[in-house]
Structure 1
């Protein structure tokens, strides 16, 4: 979204795609955009606010006032060789970054940050975005001249993650560095993004003061509910009702406007009619409010004017440096005793615990919290995003990475606005804390009204693959989410797939064993079936043996209501047995569901955790299987990012830019263009010659060299099971003539008689490797074994770049037809490393070039000696900015 440009008089060639809202180091928001000729007055105002020292450090001279000529030069750029970006807050410029081309691939860069906003990381953000812009035009190197005493600016360069060389000349530090992203520079940018976004959410969930705007005296008003719930929960900070028609509400003094509230306000709950929200936003901005929780409805969920109102709401909020949860939000909760924040419509605070919850649906919020409470499953924090115009699940995950009170995360997603960023953050979070996702799928259909989502062309299997790649635990509904969460929060992760089953019913034991085996786990102990009248002591002895078995990783205790022993005695037997072990324990007590709530558990050896209880064995097996699979993902080697040698991005960019300069709408590349583009990434396409006559075919075969293949170029034949459009292993001229006659006779009735000649490849396994630029997911790399059966069975695997070597290997292995690559029925295995290298190159290429809207390598002949790309189709087109563009941005 580009919230500012619509109100400005844009010059020709203005690059709207460079605009971005960014979160600064202190958690506030600023808008970044290219400079405009109309910024003259803003530049003068910015300069006038700077101190003499800042002016001297920037210009190396005491220029108290800029000349009209200087300002004209600053504000008039060509957006290519001369580029300037400005950062604005409430329409004032607070930072400027610019570069000027000095050599064909080198530019001099300079920055100027407002004295009032230094220390917020503005210089770092400007450098990051300038470097990304420069790379669009083939600039690979930045230079800068900085005075030695300008330590803040020297720090910006030295801490950016680039290899910076310095040289002092005539009292000035000359800096030089390549701007090609490195592992370190990417890590620096990711770390800064994480810290900034985590801080911005922390300010929302850990406020020192909350104002409720629209808090009415009527118990039926929404604002009244929010105010009452805040007070009843015992919020530890200041609470300020805002209502022009009341002096006091619920015993608290009410204020006419937010501007009258004494002291700073960290969070403002906005509960006024939709048509009054914008006015409230402006008042909150003027009062310096940190963030807004807009619970009002009547925005994008209604369409029409509501969409326009919602877009303007985002523009004003972000333009004022604030963040917003909502609109149409159910609210926020933080059960930490240091805050006791219940800024929600939930009348009661949920029990304190270690599960962080995020829900987009306001209506579902109550059901989610009530379900958690019924299970005795404690919550650390909860957020309802409503229409999700700003704060999203991605932001909450950034916060939960560092939140010591949150041990597992549950996300109920109705849509996803930035899957690439979700995947990146979920992977970082999942390495230390499990992420459970409820989502039926992401498609062009079913997006809730009011949610800003780009339409996707990808299949639902791409979303599934993305979650698997990120290590997220996908479940189908809220009940399954809590089934898995109560295990992950309260028990150690399973060390493996080996399960012991102990119970007091042979029928229940058999049912449990079937459920466990059906989920891909192994029953290695039992089922041990005690008599129904078994005592608690007998239960304990059987459980002790199960936990002591070295061939057991998890124990499932399953019992029908006992006759002799009481429920609590059985529960204590399970609890005490688990206490002495580090192994995972779950229990099935028929008809019960939740977390063991007994307080009699002692501190000491073993897990020391509560026991998750399930109503049926199938539920326990499901949760145990999900936890086991997550533990395996978390503990495995995730590999290193692929970085194939011999890549020349400049050549590839030249090919694409040349094509788009002639065909601005994009098109399919011709064979020569395709070969040149792929060669730049180290991918060789075997040449082929299209032929119109038999004599041309013979001539082409002689030039290519025997043996050859003669095949039809008609795409339809790839999907016609009964028609053969290829003749192979043609060793001489006569064989080519005979093949021509055969194909011509067979294919002419199908209007598929256009043929081509290609060198005969070594027999192998035909594969297909593709990369598609999806509007929502960005680049998607896919792999499969060619052929009609796999196409019918949809046996295609997907991954989202950037990929690691492990991810590439898993992509190859994840198709059902993978055994044919590895020596199926005695055949010689293909050169897997060569196939992996090819996929790695495709993944890097698709990640580098968003203009690459479609790439299809088919067939790729994988054989014991290597791989040969026998066919390639590439389509390029200009595309909108990716949802996760590789530079910090709120989308």
Structure 2
């Protein structure tokens, strides 16, 4: 067991020892366990011998017998050497640690090229936390990387816990009983069931860890101050004023009491275990205090202190030390540089922020990153009359992020709509995956400036990205997220989703008492793609409340209407209150949404609330009709996403993953930095995934061109391979319809004389394709997003107009369809101006195969199929450029791992 070398070097020696063994660094991971605590998983090291002996000595005789089938009171030096010295290929071993102490061991030993025997040993004191499941998951992922496809294990019949680990992992497990031992075996290649189990466990663990933070019974304020306007004093005052229902423990080295509460010199002196410690101390003191919190059994931290990565290079180093120390102690942390958190649950009532006035209790969950935006979000919610359930500010997002809060909100019965203000994103793939699950049950509204390095505030840990902004938009659309431009639009949408039912379609009625507002509303609907099927109905300014009610009732009752827009200027005769009453009474009769404009009003409440069944709702009011219609359009598109079939994961047949692995390994063995593949290599690689690249013969000289043409089937084409002219509009570097040797000679002579001065006279001969639509299908590995698949129609739509659609694997069949339809030039594929439509199924299959190739193999830096000739009878891949590089460590790998 390796301890810290010094308090400010947390975990460094432990990590170095793992690297020194030669094991891949990416095998190390921090994971959230079943109870919400954090463990560190890493490859075993020779330095672990002492720790393993200590681990063994603490195990019960029963656990030792279940593991070794014998009562081994002490491990021999020979056993210790064998356990700690592995080759990380045929013999792999992992340990799980908490605060440097080994709490679990998992290992496998290869039996033959494709199978291995697996075994686990979990500390008696940490059983029931899901450590065995985590170890199995990680060992299975490593084994697959090394060509192993099947695990076996020998288990005593009474070892029900280990049998349960195998049984509940989602694999098809077979059992064989012989000589008093049960031999289990199962394929470890991921299945839909095993993936589902893994994601479900991740969800439950991360949601549980958030509940620990959001529902503390005992809170310590480290840095509580007697100075009236200090941050520590303001924070404590707000917690007290908010009516926190738990126990408060101010920590101060000298004071006896602060604000009427007994104080304690340090966290070690608090008489009860603390659930949440809030740090408002100087940055340079935090690491030492966090270590004390870990020793005292604190479950989670909220760090409001600033002076970390946002403050410069030294702050970056300090923040990383903080992160390592928190993870080492098994805690979760919000911050540093956080604005705080709020839980309005009546059993908690925690306002651990610097905001003295917070929105009332409601059903809106809010997440923001920086403190300034936290202030803006809370203030805007309060002005709108929108109550919140939970609010959290991640600050520098060293640990807890929006992904963690979304995991919690999936099951939270007190939250109906979620709003996120994201200034940066550390793990888009995981965000997309979790957001999709959350959006299935409740609206997710996101304000984001994008994912570029320019958008990330100082202090946020994120990677560079090479994808265009459209790829981020596509990720949000895939996940069913409602993206808005600013905080005002976030609440425009939120007040609609919180207080009105989702629309059944995009048909809109418009009712008001102003021709101008009616026309403005109709124009706004049309600009957003909504259909005006009723009205605009414009009453006279002197209309009575009964006339208002009659017009609205007719609009709601119209079966051709899914939503109603009500836009009113102050009437000349009728009182505002009478109009409000008429509106809310009519709206309450129907399960259709209504957005209203009462000039001078914005938000909910103010006489517009009503009870419908057992639900209290309100007619949301907007300053101008365009605001409400923009929100209505966003919610309508979300409702359509939520009600549609999201399809099933693409799973093309005839795929040989091992062949691609062997080819890429061979390339990287001779070119460690990676390189572009030759055409023959590309053809071989693509063929392993069922993608047929058409032959093309490189030629130098007229007669070589003729011989190549004779080898292929006439007619043929002759084309330049130079990037200067390749795939250019007008086919400047191509001659087609060459039907015999003479035409090949003429074409070669013509193109050579024309392109020779440009140095573009490098040619290939290829069989002539059937006329169709030329397309580009591309996959690239992005440092932030991982694999990104793109589709476009070749030529000007791609090169001049940027008409390219993007999706993030893994894809469903619906995602593939949306990708093809996502380009503006898509009508060309359906038979534009009398042309024959292309074979959509064949094109979709090609995209699916490329997406799986990219998802399976992060070594695929880029794969561009260009041109792809799509026609009535199928698709022809005429060209391909493949670049292989060492794999990047993906942010969302195939095993649970905190980022």
**TM-score clears 0.5:** yes
2:758 corresponds in structure 1 to 750
Does residue 649 of structure 2 align to residue 626 of structure 1?
no
> Per the alignment, in what secondary structure is the counterpart of residue 841 of structure 1?
helix
Instruction: Identify which of 364, 373, 377 aligns with 1:368.
Output: 377
CA distance, structure 2, for counterparts of residue 201 and residue 279 of structure 1: 24
CA distance, structure 1, for counterparts of residue 415 and residue 815 of structure 2: 28
The answer (yes or no) to whether the contact 1:240–1:255 under 8 Å persists in 2 is yes
Does residue 706 of structure 2 align to residue 698 of structure 1?
yes
Does residue 59 of structure 2 align to residue 46 of structure 1?
no
CA distance, structure 2, for counterparts of residue 146 and residue 6 of structure 1: 32
2:7 corresponds in structure 1 to none
CA distance, structure 2, for counterparts of residue 576 and residue 397 of structure 1: 35
1:82 corresponds in structure 2 to 91
1:174 corresponds in structure 2 to 183
Q: How many residue pairs were aligned?
A: 890
2:290 corresponds in structure 1 to 281
Does residue 845 of structure 2 align to residue 837 of structure 1?
yes
CA distance, structure 2, for counterparts of residue 459 and residue 713 of structure 1: 27
Q: How much is the aligned-residue C-alpha RMSD, in angstroms?
A: 1.3
2:472 corresponds in structure 1 to 463
Deviations 1:284-337 (A, max 9, x none): 001100100000000000121100000000000011000000000000001111
2:46 corresponds in structure 1 to 37
Equivalent residues in 2 for 1:668-683, closer than 5 Å: 668-683=676-691
Decide whether aligned partners of structure 1 residues 470 and 405 sit closer, same or farther in structure 2, where only a CA change above 3 A counts: same
1:514 corresponds in structure 2 to 523
The answer (yes or no) to whether the contact 1:772–1:853 under 8 Å persists in 2 is yes
Instruction: Identify which of 598, 611, 635 aligns with 2:619.
Output: 611
Q: Which consecutive segments of 4 or more residues in structure 1 shift more than 3 A? A: 1-10, 597-600, 602-605, 718-723
Does residue 723 of structure 2 align to residue 707 of structure 1?
no
Unaligned runs of 5+ in 1: none
Instruction: Identify which of 347, 358, 368 aligns with 1:359.
Output: 368
Instruction: Identify which of 521, 529, 532 aligns with 2:538.
Output: 529
Instruction: Identify which of 610, 618, 643 aligns with 2:651.
Output: 643
The answer (yes or no) to whether the contact 2:105–2:120 under 8 Å persists in 1 is yes
The answer (yes or no) to whether the contact 2:449–2:455 under 8 Å persists in 1 is no
Instruction: Identify which of 378, 381, 384 aligns with 2:387.
Output: 378
TM-score (norm 2): 0.98
Does residue 133 of structure 2 align to residue 131 of structure 1?
no
> Per the alignment, in what secondary structure is the counterpart of residue 612 of structure 1?
coil
CA distance, structure 1, for counterparts of residue 726 and residue 699 of structure 2: 19
Does residue 860 of structure 2 align to residue 883 of structure 1?
no
> Per the alignment, in what secondary structure is the counterpart of residue 740 of structure 1?
helix
Decide whether aligned partners of structure 1 residues 393 and 471 sit closer, same or farther in structure 2, where only a CA change above 3 A counts: same
The answer (yes or no) to whether the contact 1:718–1:788 under 8 Å persists in 2 is no
Report the alpha carbon displacement of residue 837 of structure 1 after superposing the two structures with TM: 0.3
TM-score (norm 1): 0.99
1:116 corresponds in structure 2 to 125
CA distance, structure 2, for counterparts of residue 723 and residue 303 of structure 1: 53
2:3 corresponds in structure 1 to none
CA distance, structure 2, for counterparts of residue 337 and residue 801 of structure 1: 42
Report the alpha carbon displacement of residue 665 of structure 1 after superposing the two structures with TM: 1.1
CA distance, structure 1, for counterparts of residue 692 and residue 598 of structure 2: 62
CA distance, structure 2, for counterparts of residue 720 and residue 795 of structure 1: 16
Equivalent residues in 2 for 1:140-151, closer than 5 Å: 140-151=149-160
The answer (yes or no) to whether the contact 1:655–1:677 under 8 Å persists in 2 is yes
Does residue 404 of structure 2 align to residue 402 of structure 1?
no
The answer (yes or no) to whether the contact 1:3–1:314 under 8 Å persists in 2 is no
CA distance, structure 1, for counterparts of residue 695 and residue 611 of structure 2: 74
1:259 corresponds in structure 2 to 268
Report the alpha carbon displacement of residue 444 of structure 1 after superposing the two structures with TM: 2.8
CA distance, structure 1, for counterparts of residue 113 and residue 825 of structure 2: 49
Equivalent residues in 2 for 1:200-215, closer than 5 Å: 200-215=209-224
Instruction: After superposing the two structures, state which structure 1 stretch, 538-547 or 22-31, moved more.
Output: 538-547
1:487 corresponds in structure 2 to 496
The answer (yes or no) to whether the contact 2:11–2:325 under 8 Å persists in 1 is no
Deviations 1:743-773 (A, max 9, x none): 1121112110011001111111111100000
Instruction: Identify which of 65, 77, 81 aligns with 1:68.
Output: 77
> Per the alignment, in what secondary structure is the counterpart of residue 715 of structure 1?
coil
1:245 corresponds in structure 2 to 254
CA distance, structure 1, for counterparts of residue 512 and residue 620 of structure 2: 16
Does residue 237 of structure 2 align to residue 197 of structure 1?
no
CA distance, structure 2, for counterparts of residue 342 and residue 34 of structure 1: 42
Does residue 588 of structure 2 align to residue 571 of structure 1?
no
The answer (yes or no) to whether the contact 1:334–1:382 under 8 Å persists in 2 is yes
The answer (yes or no) to whether the contact 1:712–1:752 under 8 Å persists in 2 is yes
Decide whether aligned partners of structure 1 residues 327 and 183 sit closer, same or farther in structure 2, where only a CA change above 3 A counts: same
> Per the alignment, in what secondary structure is the counterpart of residue 718 of structure 1?
coil
The answer (yes or no) to whether the contact 2:728–2:795 under 8 Å persists in 1 is no
The answer (yes or no) to whether the contact 1:591–1:616 under 8 Å persists in 2 is no
Does residue 843 of structure 2 align to residue 851 of structure 1?
no
Instruction: Identify which of 589, 597, 607 aligns with 2:598.
Output: 589
CA distance, structure 2, for counterparts of residue 12 and residue 56 of structure 1: 30
Report the alpha carbon displacement of residue 722 of structure 1 after superposing the two structures with TM: 6.2
Does residue 875 of structure 2 align to residue 867 of structure 1?
yes
The answer (yes or no) to whether the contact 1:4–1:315 under 8 Å persists in 2 is no
Report the alpha carbon displacement of residue 399 of structure 1 after superposing the two structures with TM: 0.2
1:18 corresponds in structure 2 to 27
CA distance, structure 2, for counterparts of residue 539 and residue 346 of structure 1: 42
Instruction: Identify which of 280, 286, 291 aligns with 1:271.
Output: 280
2:696 corresponds in structure 1 to 688
CA distance, structure 2, for counterparts of residue 294 and residue 780 of structure 1: 35
